[in-house]
Every structure is written in C-alpha cells, then in structure tokens.
Amino acid sequence: MEACVTMSFKQPPVIPSLPRQFHGKWNKKSYHVLRELGRGANGAVYLATQGGVKRAVKVGGESIDILMEVNVLKSVQQGRDSQVGPLLCDVDDLMIDGKPCAFYAMEYLEGEQLDRYIRQSGTEWVAVMMVQLLARLDVLHKHGWVFGDLKPENVIVTRADKQVRLIDFGGVTKLGNAVRQFTEEYDRAYWHAGDRRAEVSYDLFSAAVMMVRLFVDRQTWTSSLGEPRQTVWLCDIIRNSDGLYPYRVPLLKAFHGKYASAGEMRADMLAILRELTVAAPRQQKQARKRTSGAGGMGISGLFVASLLLLAGTLYYAWFM
Amino acid sequence: MKEATLRQILVVTDGCSNSGMSPVAAAALAREQGITVNVIGVIEKSELGEKGETEIREIAEAGGGLCDIVYPQQLAQTVQMLTRKAMTRTIHQVVHKELKEILGDSGIAELEPQKRVQVAGMVDELGEKSSLNVVMLVDTSGSMKPKLSAVQQAIHDFSISLHSRSGRSRMAVCSFPGKQKYLDVRIPWTEQVEQAHHITGDLAMSGITPTGPAIVEAIALFDHGKLPQSLSERYAGTESDDHEDGSLRDHVF
C-alpha cells in the first residue's frame, strides 16, 4: 500500500518512473520512452514513441486518478474536430516492480507552454490566444465539463499551426460538482470572488486572471500578490497596462461572473481585438500619453466611470 | 452506497507528539471505527526532522489516510487536495471490495482498462455525492504560533471547498492541547465557516503535544456513540472515556 502518495517536500511524490521500454498488458502496444515532459498533481508525462509515432504517456502514483482523467478525456473526444485537448490513443497497464500500473497514451502536441510562448513572441499575441482559448472552453462547457485548473502551464500553443490546446485534464470537473483541482493564483475562491463549484463562470474567471498574468512579468506578479487577494488589485494592473486597458470591460465582466458562456466573452474580446487592429497606429500613440498627465486623468476617469456603471448594475461586493 | 458518509480526521501539526498514547495507535483505533486519518506537517524551513516525518507517515498509514509535508503558504491547497484524494481512496476501496465479491480475488485489476475507466468515473461521482464529515485537529503548541494565520486561512478556504460539493459536508475544528482536556472544540460541526475564525486567541501555549490522546478525543466527535468497551480499555489508559465523551458533547451541541 502506498500510503504517502503526496510527500511533496522531502521525498518526491511516489510516481513510478517508466522503464525505457515497455508494452501494455492488454493492448500489447510497445513504447520507447524518450524523456520526461513534466509532472502534474496526479502523475508524470513522458515523451515516447509507439510504432514510430510520438506519443505523450502519462502514469501516476494511483491508477484510479489516471483512470478518472481518461474518463474525462474520452467524453471530450466526441467532438473530434474541436481540438480541445490531445487525442486519446491508448489506455493500458504496465508492470512496474511486479505491480500493475495504469497509463494512457495521447497525441503528442509539439509546441510551447502559453506563458513561454508569449515571452518569446510578445504580448500582442495574448488577445489572439485568449480568443482561441475561449473557443476551446466553449466546446468543453457544451459537453458538460469545466476545465478547472486553467493556467498558462496547462495551455499549449502548437508549433506548426499556432493553435491553442488544453493539456492536463486532472482538474476537469462535471458542471455543478466541486472543482477537482485548481491553482490558487487562478482560483476564484482564492480571490474572494466566489466558490469552487464547477461553473462556466469559474473557468472564465481563471481565464481573465490568466490574461492579466500574461501581461505582467513574473516579478511584478509574485511581489504584488498580497493578502487578502482581491480583484480590485487586478483592476489596478489593468488600469496601468496599455495592453490590457482596452479589454477592461470583458475582463471585469469575467471577474464578476457576468458571462453565461465562453462564446459571449469570446465575441466581446474579438470585437475589441478587431477594432484595435483597424485603429492601431493612432491608438498606440494615445495610449503612450495616457500613463501621465491630463490625458491619463481623463481616461482614468472614464475607467472609474465604467467601473461604477458595472458596480451599479452588477455586484454588491465591489467595495468589499 | 449513495447514502455513504465519509468520516475523516485531518491532523495539522509541526512536530512529534510527546505526551500520552501513541498517535499511530490512536489512528489505528480511528480507522477501526471507519474514520480515516490524514496528516499534514506544516514546516517553516526544515525543522521537522526525520522523527517527525516518520511519525506523520506512520499516523497516516495506520489511519488509512494520506499525508503531506508543506510550507504554510501551501497549506490551504494541500488540505483540499489531500481530503479529496483520501475520499476517492476510501470509496475506491469499498467499490474494490464489492467487485472482488463478484469477480473473484483479483477484483478490479482483472477488468480491462476501458471497464475500469467506467469504474473510475463512478467512484468520482460517488465521491462528489457522498456526505463528508471532517474534524480538523490543529496542533497549537508553542512552535505552531507563526503558522496559525496560514491555518486560519486554510480553515476558511476548506469550508469553501466543502460548500462547493454536491454532497452534504460538515466540518469541525479542534485545537490541541486544550485547556482542560486534550483538545478544545474551536468550531463545532458546521456546514459553512463564514469567516476566518480567530483560533489564535487564548491558546494554551505549552510544550506538550498530545497528538495521540487528541485523536482519540476527536473520534468521539463523530456521532458514533462511545468507543467499544474492549478498545477503550486497550487504548485509553487511565482516562475515563465516559467522562470525556460527556464533556465533549457539551462543547459541541
């Protein structure tokens, strides 16, 4: 019996390491392990080849956790064209030290983690990626699932066609249940903006926080994470960021759970993105001026006005 | 199965017990009565030492639960994660046992993966729908003082997680050592902790850490009635259990 599955401090979690070569007990497919790709809360993902094709293989300390993920992945597979996450290729057992251990193999998505991609390619990609991400979420939600643990680390931008895909389905939860797994920085409850019930608005909240996160560097982000955390603090960042400011309305609406679907938020973002692209040259100049001087005051005032408007119609908790 | 109630004790501590019966025996006693014991070690740097680490692991093992050792800032998330995983495990064990009766000795392992995926989905759903009762048992001996604000936050946070479940959830919070008894009930059974309670006020700061006796007293908080005579004689030592049960009930209800 592995009683201490999550000894995370002194001892690494008891995630079995894969032998360099193995084959499944039931389906008899054989895998060559190339390297470890990463570790999540439930297990480790390895890059392997099977029949000459690259696959991502996940194993975990407890088979049941792995099988639960498969259960979710399978039900999302129905929309094959939707490209929410990786395709599921194989579910099987392998023997490690004489004990059966469940694993699954999925399509290997070659690409970059979203935050790394933005760092390399620039913040003008953020809104484009957000629009794509919201489309993926919309599909997931329509299948009755909430992603739960939404964060840049769980979003991949494929190298070939720059498509956003979700990875790590450990947090995916049936609508209405309690979110299975989350990360504090993107968790609605941690920001005192609601509970952890799996709702469309839970994912949209995380998405909005993620967008803000992608615009600031790591240091600003971590150094400013004071207690207690409140969305007002995120609004300060939005107000002071040229890149985020145009998106203030959809972001605020997401913070306050005002969207009924990811599609709605996507449409709002897309409209702003289009407008910005058309008006790009002139707007940028204005944005520069805004940070200081009278122009800044004017637009800050506008911002405050939009806040008040929202506060009035939306939520009681604004000044909390 | 649908009406299942899961019972857990979650011990939050930062060191070794040094008073009363062995906490490992106490955890075994809890498990005997259908209560899972999980343990989280909260440490500032690496003050826990091998002995404390071993004890934490042994308590969880004997109590059929899980353990983790974390920094104070990780506490809130760890509480939620550990509780959920322990629940899944308990339900999985029950399902496993049932399937064993149908399928023979090897039980679920003999099922093909696709079928087991369905079982996993069912376990997940049962976990969400079942009732859950958790007693959080917080070590408030002197060395815990700097970590108590993190504990307080974790308590509040945990109550949000519980509240988000579909199944009925209750939690109670106790601190040990207590003033007169081995533990004090800080927050009696409740469905939602409205705000971070101040458990830091008037704490019995002392050098003793009676983890074992505190676990035994926490068992009494579950509406099980008294300990079976034979077990109470074997484990409870000189203390009279009737007396303990009585006064705890007064605290709670």
* Spatial distance between the Cα atoms of B242 and B240, rounded to a whole number of angstroms: 6
User: pLDDT per position in chain A (320 positions), as tens?
Assistant: 333 333 333 333 477 888 899 999 999 999 999 999 988 778 899 999 999 999 999 998 888 889 999 998 888 776 666 689 999 999 999 988 888 899 999 999 999 999 999 999 999 999 999 999 999 999 999 989 999 999 999 999 999 999 999 999 989 999 999 999 999 999 999 999 999 999 999 999 999 999 999 999 888 888 767 666 888 889 999 999 999 999 999 999 999 999 999 999 999 999 999 999 887 665 555 554 444 444 445 455 556 655 555 655 554 434 33
CB contact at 8 A, B67 and A4? yes
Any idea how long chain B is? 253
Task: Catalogue the active-site residues of A.
Answer: 149
Q: What is the mean pLDDT of chain B?
A: 82
pLDDT of residue A156: 96
Q: Are strands A99-107 and A88-96 parallel, antiparallel or unpaired?
A: antiparallel
* Spatial distance between the Cα atoms of B237 and B21, rounded to a whole number of angstroms: 8
* Spatial distance between the Cα atoms of A169 and B148, rounded to a whole number of angstroms: 33
- Distance of residue A64 Cα from the nearest chain B Cα, in angstroms: 6
* A266-274 contacts, C-beta under 8 A, 24 or more apart: A266/A131, A266/A134, A266/A135, A266/A138, A269/A127, A269/A130, A269/A131, A269/A134, A270/A131, A272/A127, A272/A246, A272/A247, A273/A127, A273/A128, A273/A131
* Spatial distance between the Cα atoms of A45 and A63, rounded to a whole number of angstroms: 14
Chain A 155-174, CB below 8 Å of chain B: which residues? 174
pLDDT of residue B238: 37
- A91 close contact with B: CB closer than 8 A: yes
The helix/strand/coil state of B202 is coil
- A65 close contact with B: CB closer than 8 A: yes
Instruction: List residues bridging with A44 in a β-sheet.
Output: A39, A59
Laid out side by side, the sheet with B169-176 consists of B64-70, B35-42, B5-13, B131-139, B169-176, B184-190
Interchain pair A195, B164: CB under 8 A = yes
- A178 close contact with B: CB closer than 8 A: yes
* pTM of the entire predicted model: 0.83
* Spatial distance between the Cα atoms of B86 and B57, rounded to a whole number of angstroms: 14
pLDDT of residue A166: 94
Strands (E), B126-182: 131-139, 169-176
pLDDT of residue A281: 61
CB contact at 8 A, B67 and B59? yes
pLDDT category of residue B205 using cuts at 50, 70 and 90: low
Look up residue B96 and give its two tokens: 């496993």
CB contact at 8 A, B185 and B197? no
Look up residue A264 and give its two tokens: 């709605």
CB contact at 8 A, B83 and B40? no
Look up residue A127 and give its two tokens: 């809104």
Q: How far is CA A91 from CA A40, A102, B23, B113, in A?
A: 18, 7, 41, 6
Per residue in B8-50, pLDDT (tens digit) is 999 999 888 998 999 999 999 999 999 999 999 998 876 677 8
Which residues from chain A sit within 8 angstroms of residue B112, using beta carbons?
26
DSSP A188: T
- B27 close contact with A: CB closer than 8 A: no
pLDDT of residue B156: 87
Residue that wins the pLDDT comparison between A112 and B191:
A112
Strands (E), chain A: 21-23, 30-39, 43-50, 53-60, 88-96, 99-107, 111-113, 145-146, 155-158, 164-166, 173-174
Interchain pair B67, A6: CB under 8 A = yes
Q: Are strands B5-13 and B35-42 parallel, antiparallel or unpaired?
A: parallel
Angle at B196 between CA B190 and CA B201, to 5 degrees: 100
Residue in the structure block whose two tokens are 């399509």? A107
Chain B 147-206, CB below 8 Å of chain A: which residues? 153, 157, 160-161, 163-166
pLDDT category of residue B179 using cuts at 50, 70 and 90: confident
Of A5, A70, A227, the CB nearest to B66: A5
Q: Which residue of A has its CA nearest to B74?
A: A184
pLDDT of residue A300: 56
Of A177, A180, A183, the CB nearest to B166: A177
pLDDT of residue B86: 93
Any idea how long chain A is? 320
* ipTM score: 0.81
Which residues from chain B sit within 8 angstroms of residue A196, using beta carbons?
160-161, 164
pLDDT of residue A187: 95
Per residue in B78-134, pLDDT (tens digit) is 999 999 999 999 998 888 888 888 877 766 777 888 899 999 999 999 999 999 999
Instruction: List residues bridging with B153 in a β-sheet.
Output: none
